[in-house]
C-alpha cells in the first residue's frame, strides 16, 4: 500500500536482507573460483592481453570491497508466471506477506543511467557451476583476444571489475532458486544519486538508511512504464483473515491513482494457507 500511496520503491541495505549471506556468498565464490584451475585459466588469458591487469583489478576490488559489502542497497522482485495470476506463489505467501504487486517489467529492462540504479536476474550457482562459468569466460577471452586488446587496458579493467561486482551482488545459493529473483541494486558511494532520494526510517525496530526510487516516467532518459497506472498490472491479495477488506482498500487507492477498471486488476488468492499470528 505504501508503494502505491507514495509512488516509490525502497532500496534497503543488503545486510538486513533475509538471506544473511547476501554479497558475502558471491565474494566467496569468486575467491574459491579464482584459485581453481578454471580461475587460473581465466587469469592467464586476461594477462595475455594486458600483463598484470589482474593486479590492477585486485587494487580496485580492495578499494571498493568493503563499500560493496556494507553499502549496497537492494530491492528484490520475483519473476511472475502467468500460471500464478490467480493464486500467486505459495512460497512467497509463506515467507514475505499477504499481498503481491504484479508489475510491468518494462522499466527493469530499460537502458538508462538516469537513476544510477540497475536491475539484473539473480544467478543461483554452487561452487562447481561458478567454476564452469569462469572456464567459459576464459574461452571467450581467448577467442576474442584481438578485439579486447583494441578496447584498451582501462576498458577491459572496468569490464572485469563490473563482472566481479555483478557476481558479488547477483549470485545466491541454489537453495533460493524457486524465488526466480531479479534485483534492483544501487551503490551510493560509486554512483550519482540523480532522482533517488535517501531517508532514515525504522523498520521492525531497526533504524536504517534507505533509498527511494520514484515511480515516474522519464522519457528523456528512455524510461517508460514506471508511473503507477502503467506499472501496476495486477494485485493478488493472498491468504489473510481480511481479504475482502484488503481488496476494497486496494481498489480505492487504484481508483485515486487514475487506474481504470481497478476492480478487475485485484484478485483474491484462494490458496488454503492458514495465517498464523
Q: What is the pLDDT of residues 240-276, one digit of tens each?
A: 888 999 999 999 999 999 888 899 999 999 888 776 6
Q: Per-residue pLDDT for 277 more than 60? A: no
Neighbouring residues of 131: CB distance < 8 A, sequence distance ≥ 6: 32, 33, 36, 37, 38, 39
Q: What is the pLDDT of residues 127-151, one digit of tens each?
A: 999 999 999 999 999 999 999 999 9
Q: Is the CB of residue 210 less than 8 Å from the CB of residue 71? A: no
**Strand extents, DSSP E, the chain:** 8-13, 73-78, 99-103, 118-121, 123-124, 171-172, 181-186, 197-203, 206-214, 232-237, 266-268
3-state helix, strand, coil in the chain (%, to 5): 50, 20, 30
How much is the pTM?
0.84
Domains of the chain, by residue range, sit at 2-268
Q: Is the CB of residue 25 less than 8 Å from the CB of residue 33? A: no
Q: Is the CB of residue 222 less than 8 Å from the CB of residue 112? A: yes
Residue 53 C-alpha from the chain's centroid: 29
What pLDDT score does 189 carry?
74
Q: What is the pLDDT of residues 211-227, one digit of tens each?
A: 998 888 877 766 778 89
Question: Cell digits for 108?
Answer: 527493469
Amino acid at each position: 500500500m505504501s508503494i502505491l500511496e507514495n509512488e516509490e520503491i525502497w532500496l534497503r541495505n543488503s545486510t538486513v536482507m533475509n538471506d544473511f549471506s547476501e554479497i558475502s556468498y558471491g565474494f566467496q565464490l569468486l575467491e574459491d573460483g579464482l584459485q581453481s584451475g578454471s580461475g587460473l585459466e581465466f587469469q592467464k588469458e586476461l594477462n595475455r592481453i594486458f600483463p598484470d591487469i589482474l593486479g590492477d583489478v585486485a587494487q580496485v576490488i580492495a578499494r571498493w570491497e568493503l563499500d560493496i559489502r556494507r553499502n549496497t542497497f537492494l530491492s528484490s522482485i520475483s519473476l511472475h508466471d502467468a500460471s500464478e495470476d490467480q493464486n500467486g506463489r505459495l512460497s512467497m505467501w509463506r515467507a514475505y506477506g499477504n499481498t503481491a504487486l504484479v508489475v510491468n517489467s518494462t522499466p527493469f529492462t530499460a537502458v538508462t543511467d538516469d537513476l544510477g540504479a540497475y536491475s539484473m536476474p539473480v544467478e543461483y550457482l554452487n561452487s562447481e557451476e561458478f567454476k564452469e562459468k569462469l572456464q567459459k569466460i576464459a574461452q571467450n577471452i581467448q577467442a576474442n583476444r584481438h578485439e579486447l586488446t583494441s578496447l584498451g587496458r582501462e576498458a577491459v579493467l572496468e569490464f572485469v571489475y563490473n563482472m566481479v561486482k555483478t557476481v558479488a551482488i547477483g549470485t545466491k545459493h541454489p537453495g533460493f532458486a524457486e524465488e526466480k529473483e531479479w534485483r534492483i541494486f544501487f551503490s551510493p558511494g560509486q554512483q550519482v544519486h540523480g532522482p533517488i532520494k535517501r531517508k532514515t526510517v525504522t523498520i521492525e525496530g531497526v533504524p536504517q538508511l534507505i533509498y527511494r526510487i520514484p515511480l515516474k516516467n522519464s522519457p528523456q532518459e528512455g524510461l517508460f512504464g514506471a508511473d503507477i497506472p502503467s506499472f501496476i498490472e495486477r494485485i493478488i491479495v493472498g491468504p489473510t483473515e481480511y481479504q475482502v477488506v484488503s481488496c476494497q482498500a486496494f481498489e480505492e487507492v487504484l481508483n485515486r491513482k487514475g487506474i481504470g477498471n481497478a476492480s478487475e486488476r485485484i484478485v483474491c488468492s484462494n490458496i488454503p494457507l492458514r495465517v498464523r499470528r
